Amino acid sequence: MWEALQFDFMRNALLAGVLVSISCGIIGSLVVVNRIVFISGGIAHAAFGGIGLAFFLGFSPSLGATLFAVGVSIIMGAVSFKSKHRADTIIGVLWAIGMALGIILIDLTPGYHVDLMSYLFGSILTVPGSDIWIIIVLNIGIFLTVLIFYKEFIAMSYDEEFAFIVGIPVKPLYFILLGMTALTVVMTIQVVGLILVIALLTIPPYIAEKYTKSLGGMMVLSSILGIFFTLGGLWLSYSYDLTSGATIILVAGVGFFIFQAIGLLKGRGGITR
Amino acid sequence: MSVPAIDINGVWFSYDKTPILEDVTLTLKQGDFLGIIGPNGGGKTTLLKLLLGVLKPDRGTIKILGEAPHNANHRVGYVPQNTDLNITFPISVMEVALMGRLSRSRIGRRYSRKDRSKVKESLKKAGIWNHRHSPIGRLSGGQRQRVFIARALATDPEILLLDEPTASVDPEFEMDLFDFFRELNKQVTIVAITHDVGVISRNVKSVACVNKSLIYHEEGQITAEMIDMAYQCPVDLIAHGIPHRVLPTHTEK
């Protein structure tokens, strides 16, 4: 493993893995407690439409994914306010249309064979140095936003109605959360691919929730768990020449079942004090 | 003459096309203790949410201490009916109570020392200070009720709105709770929805019955008309050894 660190691509991969795990820990915790896991899955898949469009029109796929992810997150947020009872259906529809659109647009792009697998399952080993800088900036932005509005995010997540009553602008705050989710999803697509985004966004917070007493604690522990899963998966994939994204998720999955088993042995889902 | 605590004038409200409240009018003076009874689905909680500004009336006006509901929200404390929402949420008693100190004007700022001492005071008042570090999910229903009351008190309210405050507590604590509310009522106007007509009889100053329309009795008497409307037979009422008569003597029709 250590000799691998002399390669630029490996150092970039480690850095990207750590940074994305931190964002996933912070935003994933909010996604889990606000029960918007399905929306974040929808954002991830619909983002593929943006990747297709970017290839078709010849601009940066990351930019395309970002535009689509943010756009779709706003639409999904509006839908979940407007028609609460059918929101999940509409999210599912957008999810599928985004994906299909991306594939068709790539089909229509002349003479270009895109490596689909790298978007579906991630390509952490090919993260360029310039992207690392973007990820650092996004990480700082997300961290500061959550830090500044921490108590408002807690109130909205725990008791939305009460937050509204005391005058917290719940709707704008919800859209800010969706926007940050979209940006985190785009970053995470680099690491584990759009199909596996949900796992990195939800498994660490789900485990962490049982061992922490505050939302902040949950975010910190999720980030740490995420880093372990990502770096562990990266090391295994390097050692045994496996697909990195899938290996990372399987490591997280093993973690999920181990903690689940510990919880069952301790009774009551494993809430330690 | 001070402004009324609550002034509801000709309010109509419906969900989609289903009418919930029709032509509701009520004026409540400051310092009152109003008990609201009525059948399930009669519109009691809807009325409370209109007072809180969560819902907007189709017609009519609502004034809280002379202001529109959404402008008066820092003067009103609210205890919801359902206190076991998000029970696995990683949050301590202290943090839940601190939510009472949130306000639009101080978004993005830390809780101040004053916020914390206010919350300490209200947690002590509600008798749950010793549990301040416990995760909210670890408490019993009655204890959680106290936390939500403390959260409402932390707002420093002039009016306290309670939706079924005794729904999840045992009868003994229910007595304590209403003793506590009576004490609180010396400074704060209270509006409490309750199923328990017996509780009303012993504690409140005035009674309203809500079932689409609203009947109000200033003296705290439950009239035969209310009973008809509420369609609830107050059987346990007589058994409690009540201090004053809330049911008028029965008259032949």
Question: Where in chain A are the domains?
Answer: 2-270
The helix (run of H) or strand (run of E) holding residue B10 is strand B6-15
Cβ of A169 and B104 within 8 Å?
yes
For residue B232, what pLDDT is reported?
Answer: 47
CB contact A217 to B (< 8 Å): yes
Enter the tokens of residue A48.
């593929």
* DSSP-derived secondary structure for B59-104: EEEEEETTB-GGGSGGGEEEE-S---TTTTS--BHHHHHHGGG--G
Parallel, antiparallel, or unpaired for β B33-37 and B189-193?
parallel
CATH, domain range A2-270: 1.10.3470.10
For residue B123, what pLDDT is reported?
Answer: 94
Q: What is the pLDDT of residues B89-110, one digit of tens each?
A: 999 999 999 999 998 888 888 8
What is the spatial distance between Cα B33 and Cα B89, in angstroms, rounded to a whole number? 34
For residue B241, what pLDDT is reported?
Answer: 40
Q: Are B48 and B81 in contact (CB under 8 A)?
A: no
For residue B240, what pLDDT is reported?
Answer: 38
Parallel, antiparallel, or unpaired for β B6-15 and B18-28?
antiparallel
Any idea which residue has 């789900």 for tokens? A206
CB contact B99 to A (< 8 Å): yes
Q: Which residues of A touch B54 (CB under 8 A)?
A: 161, 164-165
Select the more confidently predicted residue: B225 or B4.
B4
Which residues of chain A are modeled with pLDDT < 70? Answer: 1-2, 112-113, 267-273
Q: For A83, which DSSP code?
A: -
Closest residue on chain A to B79 (Cα): A162
Closest partner residue to A213 among B92, B151, B155, by Cβ?
A: B92
For residue A188, what pLDDT is reported?
Answer: 94
Any idea which residue has 């939302």 for tokens? A215
**Interface mutation vs chain A, best among B55, B95, B132, most A CBs within 10 Å:** B95
**Interface mutation vs chain B, best among A147, A165, A176, most B CBs within 10 Å:** A165
Q: Which long-range contacts (CB under 8 A, 24 or more apart) does B12-20 make?
A: B12/B57, B12/B58, B12/B59, B12/B60, B13/B43, B13/B46, B13/B50, B13/B55, B13/B57, B13/B58, B14/B58, B19/B212, B20/B46, B20/B212
For residue A268, what pLDDT is reported?
Answer: 54
b/e map B195-218, b = 16+ CB within 10 Å: bbbbbbbbbbbbbbbbbbebbbbe
Q: Are B160 and A165 in contact (CB under 8 A)?
A: no
Q: What is the pLDDT of residues A37-69, one digit of tens each?
A: 999 999 999 999 999 999 999 898 889 999 999
Predicted ipTM?
Answer: 0.85
Q: Which residues of A touch B161 (CB under 8 A)?
A: none
For residue B233, what pLDDT is reported?
Answer: 39
Mean pLDDT score across all residues of chain B: 82
Q: What is the pLDDT of residues B156-175, one digit of tens each?
A: 899 999 998 877 666 777 77
CB contact A268 to B (< 8 Å): no
CATH superfamily for B6-42+53-195 is P-loop containing nucleotide triphosphate hydrolases (3.40.50.300)
Cβ of B102 and A149 within 8 Å?
no
Cβ of A214 and B91 within 8 Å?
yes
- The mean pLDDT of B208-235, rounded to a whole number, is 68
Q: Is the dihedral of CA A151, A157, A159, A162 positive or negative?
A: positive
Pick from B51-55, B68-72, B202-206, B213-217 the range whose average pLDDT is largest. B51-55
CB contact A143 to B (< 8 Å): no
For residue B227, what pLDDT is reported?
Answer: 63
Confidence of residue B8 (pLDDT cuts 50, 70, 90): very high
- The mean pLDDT of B169-189, rounded to a whole number, is 81
Parallel, antiparallel, or unpaired for β B59-64 and B6-15?
antiparallel
CB contact A82 to B (< 8 Å): no
Parallel, antiparallel, or unpaired for β B189-193 and B6-15?
unpaired
In one-letter notation, the amino acid at residue A43 is I
Closest partner residue to A215 among B80, B90, B104, by Cβ?
A: B90
CB contact B75 to A (< 8 Å): no
Angle, CA A137 vertex, CA A131 and CA A140 arms, to 5°: 140
In one-letter notation, the amino acid at residue B154 is A
In one-letter notation, the amino acid at residue B178 is F
Q: What is the pLDDT of residues B56-88, one digit of tens each?
A: 999 999 999 999 988 888 889 999 888 778 888
